[in-house]
Amino acid sequence: MFEHLMPSYHVELEQKRSSKRWRFYFISFLLASTSFVFALSWSKGPASNAEVLSPKNNQLKVAIIDQNTTAVLPQAINNVLFSFILQSEEATNLHSLAISAPEIIKQDIFKDQVRLYEGQTQIGSWEWTADGKMLFKLDNYSLTPGTHNFQLRADNLNDTLVGQTLIFGFQQAKDIVNTDGQSFYFAQGEFPLFKASVKVLEHSQILVYNNLSKPKFLAPLKTNTLVADFALSSQGESFAIRQLDFLTTNIDAADTFYLASGGQMLAKAEIEEDHIFFNLSDLVLKIDQDLNLQLWANLNNQDNYQFTLANLVAKGFLSGEDLHSQVDLALSTVEPRVDVLRMKADAQPSILTDDWNSVFKVDLQAASSSTSLHKLTFQVADFGLNILDWDLWINGQAYVVKPNWQDKLLTFDFGENGAPINQGLEVELLAKVKVLGEQARLQLTLVGDETTDGTNLLWASGQDKYNAYLLPDFPVTPVILEK
């Protein structure tokens, strides 16, 4: 309102200044707005990408395989150190893998000996990361829908790794990255995943295990019978088994011994004093696989036999070295008798119905016609049903014998004369049940005897009675029936 008191040139100057200030503020506002919008879009970018990393489709799942390889030699070729699978629901590309190897201390001695394979195809190259991971750059390796098997393999490991146990796995989901060409995704799994370990051995070795759950048992005289069951396992390399040497007692001149595997006879023994030798030429023990072997015998001495695997001789396929190993593994103590009760309980029932059910089957055999069965005892466990009655059939016919069921124990007593076994006796137990629900369950176990004092199972050879103690076929696998 006082502009008329000011010189005209001063008013014009102030108007020009105001116009310049307005233009300056407007331009500054535009720049600030642009910066704000750019910053806002930048901050939203990763969040958007994070949502893409958890897609509904294009899922990749990982799981570690429990591998066979548990030990390797430094000079071994193409040994598997670590196995895992990736399962894809649809076609995708594998961008990178970061395998953790926490036990590798000297990383520089490990680099050139390790490769990644899918099947027989080598893929990718790798380098150590700062946090001790093996980062494989896979150049978007194509994965078709389905399951893909991967292996980390090694050649000629450095001798300084001898004695170390190498562990491999995936620490977190982002260690496995796949892509559809536009977005990146992490794998699904229960992380961290560490299940496999491999020990680096200085020398290969053969381990021996006794497969018998009952190392002391009866055996019939003058009949081919199993007297020992054991397994060999190799670590480091495969072997050719050249000789097995067993030590035993009370060998009779008429005794014969055979070595078998998988139902096939491999060799007949040579006997020298208390030693049983098997000289072999074609028996191969593969690396990290068990070789199950059985010793069969026709025994003619009624004194107890004790069998021990004393020594073995083998030749390594990789090292070329001969292995002479003193084993001294006790395998069994066998008590020969004129007759022994044998049991076979295959093809057991498993379906439970609302009426009479066949719930247990067993075949009894004996070489002598004077052998008889006097008592059977079953342990019964039931759920969701009522047991109304029991019945016992022998050789396809109902047998008149009264069941005694008390405290979950079901006993059949065949009396003083017993049930003659002759050349064979097929025993079948029937149960009449009322099923009360969908989860109904019935379990039966044929009860044996832990010592000579028990009488859960009683049988006779001639005038002499015996229980189940030392019978070679015990324990019999329980039978489980479900609705």
For position 197, what pLDDT does the model report?
79
At residue 358, the pLDDT reads: 93
CA triplet 160, 123, 196: central angle to 5 degrees?
A: 50
| 483 residues of the chain, pLDDT tens digit each | 444 434 443 334 344 444 444 454 444 544 444 444 344 333 333 332 333 444 434 578 998 887 666 788 877 778 788 999 999 988 999 999 999 988 776 777 777 788 999 988 999 889 988 888 999 999 899 999 999 999 999 888 878 788 888 889 999 999 999 998 888 999 988 899 987 678 888 788 899 999 998 899 999 889 899 999 999 998 888 999 999 999 999 999 999 999 999 989 999 999 999 999 999 988 999 987 899 999 999 999 999 999 999 999 999 888 888 899 999 999 999 999 888 888 888 778 889 999 999 999 999 988 778 889 999 999 999 999 999 999 999 999 999 999 999 989 999 999 998 999 987 899 999 999 999 988 899 999 999 888 888 889 999 988 888 899 898 888 888 999 998
Please give the structure tokens belonging to residue 368: 């002598």
Q: What is the pLDDT, as a whole number, of residue 414? A: 93
Contact present, 228 and 331 (Cβ < 8 Å):
yes
Q: How many CB atoms lie within 10 A of CB 460?
A: 20
pTM: 0.63
Helices (H), 107-236: none
- pLDDT for res 204: 83
Specify whether the CB–CB gap between 204 and 285 falls below 8 A.
Answer: no
Q: Which amino acid is at 187?
A: A
Residue 149 to residue 155: CA distance in whole angstroms: 20
Closest residue by Cα to residue 355 from 438, 430, 429 = 430
- Cα gap 5→427, rounded to integer Å: 132
Q: What is the pLDDT of residue 413?
A: 95
CA distances to 41, 83, 187, 285, 297 from 64, in Å: 40, 6, 13, 26, 44
Residue 78's φ and ψ, nearest 5 degrees, are 60, 40
The span from the CA of 86 to the CA of 97, in Å, is 11
32: three-class secondary structure by DSSP: helix
Bridge partner residues of 361 (DSSP): 428
Cα angle vertex 255, ends 251, 256, to 5°?
Answer: 125
Structure tokens at 34: 């642009």
Asked if the bond preceding 475 is cis, omega within 30° of 0, the reply is yes
According to DSSP, the residues that pair with 210 across neighbouring strands are 230
pLDDT for 105: 67
